[in-house]
Structure 1
Amino acid sequence: MTDNPLRPALFHTDAIAEDTLKLNDALVGLMTGLPDWWNIGPEVTREARRQGRGPFPPPVKSSRARTIIVPGRDGNEIPLRIIAPDQPRGVYLHVHGGGWVLGSADSQDPMLEQIADKAGVAVVSVEYRLAPEHPYPAGPDDCEFAAAWLVNHAKAEFATDVLTIGGESAGGHLAAVTILRLRDRYGYTRFRGANLVYGAFDLSMTPSQRAFGNRRLVLRTIDMQQFYNAFLPTITDRRVPDISPLYADLKGLCPALFSVGTADALLDDSMFMHARWIAAGNEAELAVYPGGAHGFTLFPNRLAEEAAARSEAFLQKVVG
């Protein structure tokens, strides 16, 4: 990783560490031959993930976590999973990944515990509704309403109204959409920072998504296509800013850290979004990790440790 992220050598194969190559080969081996979620059904795949069958280990649940319920736009209930230090200096609204179809707010507790303790923030993870049962705009609506609730209640709940936001993959997308919705629908522009980790920001597909191919390194081109079709079953114009925030007016937004690996189908998304974020006059950092696959932060490896330290330092800095 480097502070000069577009240095050409960073993208050469000889920049990839041996342990990263071994992890990537192991992931391909684990995933090759696994059934696709769109063939066996999303709930079967969700249950397999809950049990640790597949590339991801079974979730480790935090004894520190608690859940509160806030109201949603459609009269639905939105669970918020909270892991907080005794005296948080801010709040981190977290949005989990999983292609808008998979994943859950309680599937990454150890990572959220570490963020809470290292960055000194109350982590609030949104249990948003999933596609295909609940397609767009259900998930974005739930994230918007969770954020709006925090704007009005964080001070009473956590003794601080300093808000940050972030997420991984689809969670990075939903976090960006939430920032824009809060600005445009509520006039709220006081997020201190956005931690956007290998997010999908162009759901009409960037070149790196289209060109990735079929190597089963966590996320292939066909996976993106199937996730988008589940999330947006009736929408053909996928460059609407509320769907693809890469095409939004990005003026007046908070500082952001974009993190992505060079072996990720979503590489272009972070690079393009970082450039547009800066071109709109906002502060932004781009952390590029040689050989990092999609989801690399979720596996025990050196790159994950580097990315975690960078994200935690960013959140510490913007919280102040």
Structure 2
Amino acid sequence: MTSCLLAKSPDRLVAVADGRLSVTSKGVLTTSLDSAQKIVVFPTRYEIPVVSVGRFSHFSEYTGPTWHIAYAGTHALVSEILDGFRSQVCGNLRLSRGENGVPTFDEHFDRSRSYDDSYNFDNDELPKLEPWELIHEFRQVAEAKSTEWALNRAFPDCEFLLFGKELQTRRYVAHKAVPRHLGWSTGSRVEFDFHLIKDGELAAIGSPEVSKRAYADAELIGGLSGWSKAADAFGDGSMFADFDLDGDLNAKPTSKAPAPPQPDPADWGTNKVQERLIEHVLGAGDAGVGGKLTIATGGWYGEIQIEKR
């Protein structure tokens, strides 16, 4: 069993994952690894074809934001999903023009054919790989791999926390992704639900024992409430809440109710929350959770840092 806990606000983020990979056979749990890195880093990029004098000339490269995914579940399936996502967003995607001329991603580009020089892309046409675009790519891979898995085995056992930064505002954003069991039947497609993690909300995947212990920590939950944005009574303190998973703008109320008083976020800084999350991951008594920890932290809208402990 795996465990990862995460908390975020617009300007800070903490995630803690254990490092143990274990297998239960005939009721006996055995450990395979204690050093697995269960928060995986994805430096995103894609290639842009450049046309000159009516022919393909070369590819230039667009470097996007760094994305992070924590995981729990069946390691073979999780590995296939993460490898598929990496192949999509870490260099294998190529920009092309659809039938209507709109920029779109494709894995292949025909270098042999003729192109008009107007095929070239202006800077304002380049997809920025915003969170909703990356989640769209992840959904496609996760659902395809999970559907294949379910055709050969049981319903997929996997959960993910996806997190990074919103490009325009530099705020931290995060989602929890889980396969939707409700309404699924053998032989049908597996679909995923994505849940926005709000500012000041504790998110957990993996071990029920760790999750139960963390959610029962009233002091932690109360302290994290100070991480929410008091001025945003309807939103979550993240610009990402303004968009749905297709990138369309969500309708929002034109007026806002007064926000309730919030605890001072300084009372529960990043370090204090990090140490409390570590206590819960290692102290829940789940024999399948342990080993070296992977810790992701971000502060002051800066880049997310990864450390092993």
Range class of TM-score, shorter chain: under 0.3
Higher strand content, 1 or 2 = 2
Structure with more contact order per residue of length (Cα contacts < 8 Å, sep ≥ 6): 2
Give me the TM-score of the superposition, normalised by structure 1: 0.26
Higher helix content, 1 or 2 = 1
Give me the TM-score of the superposition, normalised by structure 2: 0.27
